[in-house]
Chains A and B, each alone.
Chain A
Amino acid sequence: MTSPHIRQPASVQRVMMTVLAALLPGIAAYVWQVGAGILVNIAIASVTALASEALVLRLRKRALWITLSDGSALVTAWLVALILPSIAPWWLTVIGVLVAIVGAKHLYGGIGQNPFNPAMAAYCAVIIAYPALMSQWPHIDGLDFATQLHLILGGSREIDGITGATALDAMRTGLRNQVDIHTILSSGTFGFAGGRGWEWIAAGYLVGGFFLLARRVITWHLPIGFIVGMGFTAGVAWLVAPDSFPSPLFHLASGGAMLAAFFIVTDPVTGASSPLGKFIFAAGVGVIAWIIRTFGMYPDGIAFAVLLMNICVPLINHATQPALVGQRKEARP
């Protein structure tokens, strides 16, 4: 046995459990605002993730328990459940999780080796394959649990009033139809910052994010990078043409922005490694996501933005290799 002979009581499992714990405030807000259907989705996603990971590990002839118990599959599963509409049919969630765990994670060699963020790869795959289902978000007012369960279990979707436009969708449609931004914002879809009700969920993620920062699971470079990237771009556009572009606050409070800032771009495996690199990576995601939201055809551009920046990671890492102690910056190779 070789040095060091002592170790900090830290483990991958503990890191992942902290991340799961940090998701709880957001999930609680979700249940409170939208309904308990999300919990069913999370359960479906978790079971699928663990079962598929076990199967893959068996096929790859790897030790089962040590990887299954590290908690990373659960984190991926929860994130997939949270980024899909909470009334998505069960099989959509299953497909999403399979894409994430089998496709994006294990086909590349398992945790640590995958270049693409598994949850984001899953989101992109299902939104390309099932754009209609992916645009059906639960209506914020009174969709009871029975109805949610009915929809999740694959029941008929021909019922009125089950879905509501998301804030991003409503904003996009309104702006495309040349409606004045203040008129758009005065509709019932919007609350004080983003989508009515949804902004509380975003606030929940924010609370969890602070918890992760406090526990030093993540460093500030990533969330701040994302917020600066998205906020700055949105801010410039908004200042130039406030009637055509919604405010930075709207962007940051809507869609998956807060989830992305603290739980998605912070995936260490697929992100950049040095502090500066992390900032650049996250800021890039923020900027690209804003561009896709504003000019693209998909409701939220974060997933595509993350995958694009994942591709750039080797480049970013190469360009931002930190200098050694005592080494002048320009002296580095």
Chain B
Amino acid sequence: MISRLFSFRGGIKPDSHKTESSEASIRNVPLPSRLVVLLTQGSQGAARTIVTVGDKVLKGQCIGEAEGVAGTAIHAPTSGTVTEIGPYPMAHPSGLASPAIVIEPDGEERWITHEPLDPATASREDLILRIQASGIVGMGGATFPSHLKADSEIETLIINGAECEPWITCDDRLMRERAAHIVTGSAILAHLTGARQVLVGIEDNKPEAIAAMRTAIQDMEAVARKCLDADKMNVIAVPTLYPTGGEKQLVRVLTGIDVPPDKRITDSGIQCFNVATAHTVCRALLHGESMVSRIVTVTGSVERPGNYETPLGMPVADLLAFCGVKPGTSRVLMGGPMMGFSLPSLDAPIAKGCNCLIAASNELFSPPPPEQPCIRCGNCANSCPVGLQPFELYWASRAKNLDRAEHYHLFTCMECGCCAYVCPAHIPLVDYFRFAKSEIRARNEERKTAEQARTRFEFRSLRLEREKTEKAARLAAKAAETRAKAASEADSALIAAAVEQAKMQSSVQDKAAPSRDQQT
């Protein structure tokens, strides 16, 4: 298929630095002395622990069940003993903690029995439940639960192999080495979503990956063919331009559709999965292997850069130690240099969304030059893939004019960093935007609390009011009742008295002369 490619707005071309880590094949790492499996692995929900300290677990055994519809399960990354359940720092810019299950490996790597599903015969519900129970989340970094995404009905499935961030090569290596599984996983996802075509987008700086994926589609496994015709899946080489791997950017490049900022791509009949996610889906359904490891690129100032099949829960420090951090490393970045963050603690374990660790030295990543005033050159606006006016957002954020920032669509900013990359005044624009966003969230939170307090207050006054009227009504009713009763009692008393009187009178009358009162 010759398909016309489209271009998205803006974008930048930073030095790619891919070869540092892309040349060697995927390697295994030795098991660390303990694995820290966080209960929070997906962006939308967590897991609930179902083991207790002292339990022996097998590799792939579920140790945390999905909590709610959006939660995803977690599994023991190896066989061993649960030694601790408690909070551990997550790989997060703020060093936030999450409850975690700590496992001490027994070194035997004993798997639980695999229970594969046949996608062609199993029901759609079963397959989707299996994806959730296998703990699969988006592996490109966003960690959105895959079962939620698989549960959609679409026309076109996009498999994202763009990997546009510099330095990261884990998807590249995965496509080169395990293309068949990616293709099968993609076919299964197409089957689940009802997609009629699958477009695999790969940046043209990865010719080996493109070739491997094309071959894998030609030699598509029989089980995958039952899900999708091989000619419905196409690999498309897309121009290397950051951020092509952004969901909406890739949709634009492959289909020409501009998804509006307030809409999701499913509204345009498109769904998108990362290649690594498709790979994991294949392993989980066809082989019954839950998600217990992922490939992590370790690069930058390390002795042995490359891609490592890393068990989930391996502390970052252990992985780095294995790769040999060079002297002069000042910080460690998680993710790529455009959107990644400096890890506040190397104790954080590898989680499902961790695609890359970069040991950063001042030679490789020079500290930012001092910030200068904005000269309104507009370079930032030219580079913004969303079509924002970053300098307007900057002026508004700087002046803490939050309404103005919202007016300039602050929340459509995806923090891709293009604007800050090109700014000649070296303004950390994205920092300003993150700050303004958190300010607005805090403000809205405050408003919400105030609103709730007000409603509560209003409700209370309403209730008091109602109670008062009810009470008054009750009182009134009661009073009326009493009065009525009293009245009727009085009436009967009167009647009785009258009767009595009459009796008496009549008897008197009988006994004496009739009275005049009797006639009245």
Contacts and interface: CB of A to CB of B under 8 A. Distances in A.
A72 B374 CA distance: 12
B430 A273 contact: no
A240 interface: no
B186 interface: no
Given A5-B338, A10-B424, A271-B376, 6 more contacts: A2-B93, A14-B424, A274-B389, A321-B389, A321-B408, A322-B387
Nearest to B379: A10
B516 to A, nearest CB: 96
A8 B389 contact: no
Interface stretch (A108-116, A122-130, A146-154, A283-291): A108-116
Contacts of B409: 324
Given A10-B379, A112-B374, A325-B385, A4 B431 contact: no
A61 to B, nearest CB: 15
10 contacts: A4-B417, A5-B333, A6-B337, A12-B425, A110-B373, A111-B375, A112-B376, A268-B378, A327-B261, A333-B407
Q: Which secondary structure characterizes the binding site on chain B? A: loop
A169 interface: no
B391 A6 contact: no
B258 A325 contact: yes
Contacts of B425: 11-12
A12 B263 contact: no
8 closest pairs, A vs B, by CB?
A4-B417, A326-B258, A112-B373, A326-B260, A5-B337, A10-B424, A325-B387, A324-B387
A2 B341 contact: yes
A4 B365 CA distance: 10
Contacts of B342: 1-2
A7 B426 CA distance: 8
B389 A4 contact: no
A4 B424 contact: no
B372 A66 contact: yes
B327 interface: no
Contacts of B407: 333
A114 B130 CA distance: 61
Contacts of A8: 12, 14, 421-422
Interface of B: 8-9, 12, 14-15, 93, 166, 248, 252, 258-261, 263, 331, 333, 335, 337-342, 360, 365, 367-370, 372-379, 381-382, 385-389, 391-392, 407-409, 412, 415, 417, 420-426, 428, 430-431, 434
Contacts of A67: 372
A72 B82 CA distance: 64
A324 B421 contact: no
Given A3-B430, A4-B430, A326-B259, A15 B375 contact: yes
Contacts of B388: 324
B367 A1 contact: yes
Interface in A118-161: none
A269 interface: yes
Contact of B387 (A11, A111, A323): A323
Interface in A54-68: 66-67
Contacts of B9: 325
A70 interface: yes
Contacts of A14: 424
Contacts of B422: 8, 10
B372 A4 contact: no
A322 B408 CA distance: 10
Contacts of A324: 260-261, 386-388, 409, 412
A4 B337 contact: yes
Contacts of A11: 369, 372, 424-426
A72 B391 contact: no
Contacts of B377: 15, 217, 268
B427 to A, nearest CB: 10
A269 B375 contact: yes
Contacts of A3: 335, 337-341, 415, 417, 420, 430
Interface string A48-88: 00000000000000000011001010000000000000000
A11 B415 CA distance: 21
